[in-house]
Amino acid sequence: MATPAEARVDLAAIRHNVALLKERTGAELMGAVKADAYGHGLVPCSRAALEGGASRLGVAFVREALELRAAGVTAPVLAWLITPGEPLDEALTHDVELSAADARLLDEIAGAARRTGRTARLHLEADTGMSRGGAPLAAWPGLLARALELAAEGVVEIVGLWSHFACADVPGHPSVQQQLEAYHTALKLAEQAGAAGSHVIRHLANSAAALTLPEARYDLVRPGIAMYGLSPIPEQGGFGLRPAMTLVAQAALVKRVPQDSGVSYGHLYTTERETHLALVPLGYADGILRHATGRAEVLAGGRRRRVAGRVCMDQFMIDLGDDLLAAGDEVVLFGPGDGGEPTAQEWADSLGTITHEIVTRIGSRVPRVHTSTGA
């Protein structure tokens, strides 16, 4: 390892997970590759997803879609979180599909279409009960009507009708059925308005819904976390998914310290006896949350060790006891778990969060190294 730490990403695992999701759902698949493919590296993971059977990619922001285009990725890409002033002309020139949920954005998109001479490919988003993005059902008919006017003018084409679940990861949550019903209503209204032709793609399911709610699959599913091999519903197991990322660092310094040594800022950890400490060169600037202090575990020298004392900006310590590591020896923070290392799920559990946050927060100082085990 030429760098202090690296995130190894197994592209074969991503291909495997996408193929598994396609087989389980029998639907078309849009790989959610927002936020640098959940921290796994946008372009290589997007290519792996497409190789595994995804036919489309989904990102939050136009900028992310343009990054894919700049890298030569030609598959359909949807950007679903458009903010005022985003480069819509460029988006249309590069065939980026856009989501819209209000007339203001529709008009902005129409302006870009008129300027560029391109027809904007639109996915209209309905708020079926998450109260985040999307048009509330009361505003949905108006949104459809405006989009149809613009379609008649030739500046937009409605290619998708979609929504998003709030609680699909909580099986049996009453909102799930309510959202399914609201989505059904939204589709009915679209049909009545003439906005739901047979070519229009209906999509609703994130990873959790794709794996557990057949009635939510419609034409296409939009998994994110499951593609990276992490379970969308940990209480229900791993679904046969393979975690793609292994986060490793090399021990930067190993030293013998006396009993009662206070370790790191605030001396939150004190050695119980004479021991070896190892310095791991990853810190909260790299996404190792300060909250991991005294909680999360790593694998070093064949054994689990807990983070000893405060996580600093660039580093944290572990207590090796009588064991020794050499500087340069690998410390594994998390991975698939095959070699005894913790999983991202264990990190999430020990920090009271979800794996999405664990992997997306890994900072830009940590290179992503893409491999393909084919295993």
Ligand X SMILES: *Cc1c(COP(=O)(O)O)cnc(C)c1O
Nearer to ligand X, 57 or 120 (CB): 57
Could you tell me the smallest distance in angstroms from the CB atom of residue 226 to ligand X?
Answer: 6
Could you tell me the smallest distance in angstroms from the CB atom of residue 56 to ligand X?
Answer: 12
Nearer to ligand X, 66 or 208 (CB): 208
Residues 6+ apart with CB under 8 A from 8: 245, 246, 247, 248, 335, 369, 370, 371
What is the number of the residue whose Cβ is closest to ligand X?
Answer: 224
Nearer to ligand X, 78 or 332 (CB): 78
Residues that bind ligand X (CB under 6 A): 32, 34, 80, 164, 206-207, 222-226, 232, 356
Whole-Å CA distances, 229 to 32, 261, 280: 13, 40, 26
Q: How far is the C-alpha of 258 from the C-alpha of 3, rounded, in Å?
A: 30
Could you tell me the smallest distance in angstroms from the CB atom of residue 242 to ligand X?
Answer: 16
Count of Cβ atoms closer than 10 Å to residue 253 Cβ: 13
- Report whether 313 belongs to an annotated binding site: yes
Nearer to ligand X, 47 or 356 (CB): 356
Nearer to ligand X, 160 or 336 (CB): 160
DSSP state letters, 266-309: GG-EE-SSSEEEEEE---GGGT--GGGTTT-EEEETTEEEEEES
Q: How far is the C-alpha of 57 from the C-alpha of 47, rounded, in Å?
A: 10
Nearer to ligand X, 13 or 155 (CB): 13
Could you tell me the smallest distance in angstroms from the CB atom of residue 328 to ligand X?
Answer: 35
Nearer to ligand X, 80 or 316 (CB): 80
Is beta strand 120-127 parallel, antiparallel or unpaired with respect to 135-136? parallel
Could you tell me the smallest distance in angstroms from the CB atom of residue 63 to ligand X?
Answer: 16
Could you tell me the smallest distance in angstroms from the CB atom of residue 43 to ligand X?
Answer: 18
Active-site annotation holder among 22, 34, 183, 269: 34
183 carries an active-site annotation: no
Our CA dihedral for 136, 155, 223, 167, rounded to 10 degrees, sits at: 0
Cβ proximity of 97 and 75 under 8 Å: no
| Host H or E run for residue 8 | strand 5-10
Count of Cβ atoms closer than 10 Å to residue 197 Cβ: 11
What share of residues in the chain are helix, strand, coil (percent, to 5)? 35, 25, 40
Q: Which tokens sit at 360?
A: 């997306």
Phi, psi for residue 254 in degrees, rounded to 5: -130, 130
265 carries an active-site annotation: yes
Phi, psi for residue 348 in degrees, rounded to 5: -60, -45
Active-site annotation holder among 228, 255, 265, 284: 265
Question: 93-127 burial, b if ≥16 CB within 10 A, otherwise e?
Answer: bbebbbbbbbbebbebbbebbeebebbbbbbbbbb
**What's the CA angle centered on 9, arms 299 and 16, to 5 degrees?**
110
Nearest to 291 by CA among 230, 234, 245, 353: 353
Could you tell me the smallest distance in angstroms from the CB atom of residue 33 to ligand X?
Answer: 10
Specify binding-site residues.
Answer: 132, 313
Residue positions in the annotated binding site for substrate? Answer: 132, 313
Q: Which residues are catalytic?
A: 34, 265
